[in-house]
Amino acid sequence: MNATYPLYLAGEFITTKDVLVVSDKYENKDYATTYLADEKVLDFAIKKGLEAKEAMETIEFA
């Protein structure tokens, strides 16, 4: 099994040029592939997190 999983961030699937292979250390086999977040992705995550925080602050709970 060697599936590829993009990053899921703020409702979007994101890939980068930096690939991360996830290995099963007990079987000594590659399990899956994903991507490492770069500075652009981290900035996007922070921006979306702050937007979500602002939206959550407007919700009134009974």
The per-residue pLDDT for range 2-19, each reduced to its tens digit, is 899 999 999 999 999 999
Q: Are the C-beta atoms of residues 1 and 24 closer than 8 Å to each other?
A: no
pTM of the model: 0.72
First to last CA, the chain: 48
Q: Read off the pLDDT of residues 24-61 as tens digits, 9 standing for 90 and up.
A: 999 999 999 999 999 999 999 999 999 999 999 999 98
The range of the structural domain enclosing residue 40 comes to 3-57
Q: Give domain status of residue 46, yes or no.
A: yes
The count of domains in the chain is: 1
Q: Are the C-beta atoms of residues 21 and 33 closer than 8 Å to each other?
A: yes
Q: Give domain status of residue 62, yes or no.
A: no
Q: Give domain status of residue 10, yes or no.
A: yes
Q: Which residue's structure tokens are 């961030």?
A: 9
pLDDT of residue 11: 94
Q: Give domain status of residue 40, yes or no.
A: yes
pLDDT of residue 1: 58
